[in-house]
Amino acid sequence: MKAIILEGINQPLTYTDVEKPTLQAGEVLVKVKAAAFNHRDYWIQKGQYGGLRFPSIQGSDGCRVVESVFDEENKHWLGKEVVINPSLNWGSNPNTQAKDYIILGMAQDGTFAEYVKVQARLLHEKPAHLTAEQAATFPLAGLTGFRALMTRAAAKPGDTVLITGAGGGVALFCVQFAIALGCNVYVTSGSDEKIAKAVTMGAKGGANYKTENWHKEIQKMSGGFDAIVDSACGEQFEKLIDICKPAGRIAFYGATLGAFNSGVPAKIFWKQLTICGSTMGNDEEFAAMVKFIAEHKIVPVVDEVFPLAQAQTAVEKMARGEQFGKIVLRVD
């Protein structure tokens, strides 16, 4: 079969022939139609990720049809269009992942290939209103955003919510989820164009974080925030403390700007704030997310679709931060 192989750190993604996966107990073989990039794939290519194994087939997101199964009990999946939960081995504790937790695409071969094998328990039927390219976008990024927004930041209808870094995949899913939930949504971005696009999606407004007093601007337009979902941290994190309402919640799932300074501690304890980290999500949250997407007819934002053979070109675009939404690979 054709696949995208990463041979080592800082090596290009190579389109080549590899052996088709062989199934074992509990596994099914999915013929992939579309797969999506995450920043995780770029970080792996640059060696900025733990547990690296080379050569490897990356890709955590995929959608297509189940072609074969190992066990008779899983025959009902044959021919069905599915999405794959990439959150492997979460474990029995819904609050945190187990020690042997991994994500599809590293260390287990992923979806940047014509076929991928996974445990049948990780399959979910594709929401009927989505194309394969749209459905391929949400497993990893959607799950990350769903847990951060719904579980960790505990957003609820009527809340005023801030999503930072609108334009990236996880952030845009948070925007869509929060709007569908009935929240008043605001965004930040370093691009006025991306803020304008978020507003067309239903956000109430936004501020460019490259301006000096962006936090005062968005505080004035929003009145402050009940919940904030952040991916940057860094020196600007203390501004999130300032614009959070009393009893507000801040969840962060990334730190692209590095270590944060939370500012004056008294602001946190006097305002009774909750600050928490979040990553990926458990099996129940994935199922809840798929149901939420289907019920609210959420359509993921696809930035561009590349042929599988052009994976290196696609990841270079992602590295430049030019995308608004998800970058997808078309496999067939």
| Bridge partners (DSSP) listed for residue 184 | 160
d(CA 97, CA 9): 27
Query: Is residue 235 scored above 90 in pLDDT?
Result: no
Structural domains of the chain sorted by starting position, each given as residue range(s) with its CATH number in brackets: 2-137+300-330 (3.90.180.10), 143-277 (3.40.50.720)
Residue from 298, 265, 254, 266 nearest 128 by CA: 298
| Residue 48 pLDDT class (50, 70, 90 cuts) | confident
Which of the residue ranges 38-52, 132-146, 203-217 would you say has the lowest mean pLDDT?
A: 38-52
The mean pLDDT of the chain is 93
The two structure tokens encoding residue 47: 């060696």
Q: What are phi and psi of 193, to 5 degrees?
A: -65, -40
Residue 262 has pLDDT above 80, yes or no: no
List the one residue out of 33, 282, 324, 283 whose CA is nearest residue 176.
324
Whether the predicted model's global pTM rises above the 0.85 cut = yes
Residue 313, pLDDT score = 95
Q: How far, in Å, CA of 78 to CA of 125, rounded?
A: 11
Which of 281, 240, 288 lies closest to 264, judged by CA? Answer: 240
Percent of the chain with pLDDT over 70: 100
Mean pLDDT over residues 13-25, rounded?
94
pLDDT of residue 223: 96
Please give the Cα distance from 115 to 331 (Å, whole number). 9
Distances 95 to 47, 146, 194, 279, 295 between C-alpha atoms, Å: 28, 14, 33, 11, 25
Cβ count near 22 (within 10 Å): 9
Mean pLDDT, range 31-43, rounded to an integer = 94
Query: Beta strands 27-36 and 102-103: pairing type?
Result: unpaired
| pLDDT tens-digit series, residues 102-130 | 999 987 899 999 999 999 999 999 999 99
* Closest by Cα among 266, 193, 196, 260 to 228: 260
Predicted confidence at residue 321, as pLDDT, reads 83
**Antiparallel, parallel or unpaired: β 27-36 and 326-330:** antiparallel
Looking at per-residue confidence, does 10 or 236 come out higher? 10
Say what the pLDDT of residue 41 is: 93
- Predicted confidence at residue 93, as pLDDT, reads 95
Query: Is a pLDDT exceeding 90 seen at residue 143?
Result: yes
The answer to whether residue 263 scores a pLDDT higher than 80 is no
pLDDT, tens only, 64-94: 899 999 999 999 999 999 999 999 999 999 9
Which pLDDT does position 232 carry in this prediction?
78
| Residue 50 confidence (pLDDT) | 76
pLDDT of residue 234 exceeding 80, the answer is no
CA distance 168 to 40: 12
| Mean pLDDT value across residues 263-281 | 92
Q: Which residues is 252 bridged to in the sheet?
A: 230, 277
Phi, psi dihedral angles at 249 (to 5 degrees) = -125, 135
User: What's the pLDDT score for residue 27?
Assistant: 95
pLDDT at residue number 64 = 87
Is residue 191 over pLDDT 80?
A: yes
What are the CB-based long-range contacts (under 8 Å, 24+) for 217-224?
A: 218/162, 218/186, 218/188, 218/243, 219/243, 221/186, 222/160, 222/162, 222/184, 222/186, 223/160, 224/160, 224/248
Q: What is the mean pLDDT of residues 175-192?
A: 96
Determine the pLDDT at residue 324.
87
pLDDT value of residue 101: 94
- Residue 154 CB burial class (10 angstroms; 0-12, 13-18, ≥19): middle
Say how far residue 20 (Cα) sits from the centre of its chain. 27
Lowest mean pLDDT among 35-39, 166-170, 188-192, 240-244: 166-170
